[in-house]
Amino acid sequence: MRILITGGAGYIGSHAVKALTESHTVTVVDNLTRGYRDAVPSNVNLYTNDVREISKMTQILRSEKIDAVLHFAGLAYVGESVAQPLRYYQVNVDGTLSLLAAMKEVGVNQLVFSSSCATYGTPDFLPITEQTPQRPINPYGWSKLMAEQLIKDVAASRPNFSYALLRYFNVAGCATDGTLGERHNPEPHLIPLALRAVLNPHQPLIIHGDDYATEDGTCQRDYLHVEDVVLAHQLVLEALQTHDRMVYNLGLGHPYSVRDIIAAVATVTGSDVPIIVGTRRLGDPPCLYADASSIRTQLGWQPTQIDLVNTIASSWRWLKGMDAYPRY
């Protein structure tokens, strides 16, 4: 199969490229705003245009004879979305709209979309299933929900159009073989921030609020290894050949608090994590964790990286060797 991966030079996208090139012909589109050219293997065609350039996307889909698209490209920082809502709607919503328009023009009818648990907002009940009402509480979540609706509306108008919406919870970890990792600038994610605080105690980790209605007062999240996220993409890509519309949560179903993560980082590194307790961050629900039984039951998805300490250890190994990125 000939696959286009948007955002393929970014964190999750580059791990998907790595896995899918083993059995498919992969093309990457990434404007390198937050991706890295050297995260894409040299034998993979990389186009550095923006996905909002419809004419360019149409040209790429046609010239590369694309069969299916994995759409990772977008912005994904909750706090930043609160400060820059227009930018998030422009990139995440307009980007998806432009991609769908190009796909229609060329006749590409298979799409796997990188969505988010942020579309659920603060749920009334836990764990979160695919039937949990979607009530976003920040622009990032709204932008993902709007993109989901665009995809559903296009599918309703095109009987031969098939899609999978994958709602990630908190993706973590790095490639277990050490070739790829997480490199954001600025870094928004808890695990790499805690690890960096160990390496540089003069820049302590900020806990954004310790007065939530959780056991230790800090936010709780469901952490899933990036390679298991990619595994889910491989399964739904195969399933799209016989299934037309799929929506799945991706998570392990176990919530870890910020202080749980800090303790696990200390276990991995052998050092205490320097911390500062700050104020709450806008748009942060107290607790989010998934019921991902649907994809397990229907597609046989079985996460392989289920130990939090091992997931953090993969990030620790990567962070200590970031001067050689990646190592193909």
Q: Which residues are catalytic?
A: 140
Which residues, 6 or more positions from 315, have their beta carbon under 8 angstroms from its beta carbon?
A: 172, 173, 174, 181, 182, 191, 192, 195
**Mind giving me the DSSP string for 211-237?**
-SSSSSSS-EEEEEEHHHHHHHHHHHH
Q: What is the Cα–Cα distance from 116 to 145, expressed in whole angstroms?
A: 8
Residue at token pair 């993109």: 147
Give CA separation, 44 vs 8, 162, 181, 241, in Å: 10, 25, 18, 24
Asked if 279 and 207 touch (Cβ cutoff 8 Å), the reply is: no
Task: Report the helix count and the strand count for the chain, using DSSP H and E.
Answer: 11, 12
Buried b (16+ CB within 10 A) or exposed e, 65-74: ebbbbbbbbb
DSSP H stretches of helix in the chain: 11-20, 54-63, 78-83, 85-88, 95-106, 139-157, 190-199, 226-239, 258-269, 293-299, 308-320
Q: Angle formed by the axes of helices 54-63 and 95-106, to 10°?
A: 40
Structure tokens that stand for 147 in this block: 């993109």
The torsion angles phi and psi of 40, rounded to 5 degrees, stand at: -105, 130
Tell whether the torsion through CA atoms of 10, 11, 15 and 20 is positive or negative.
negative
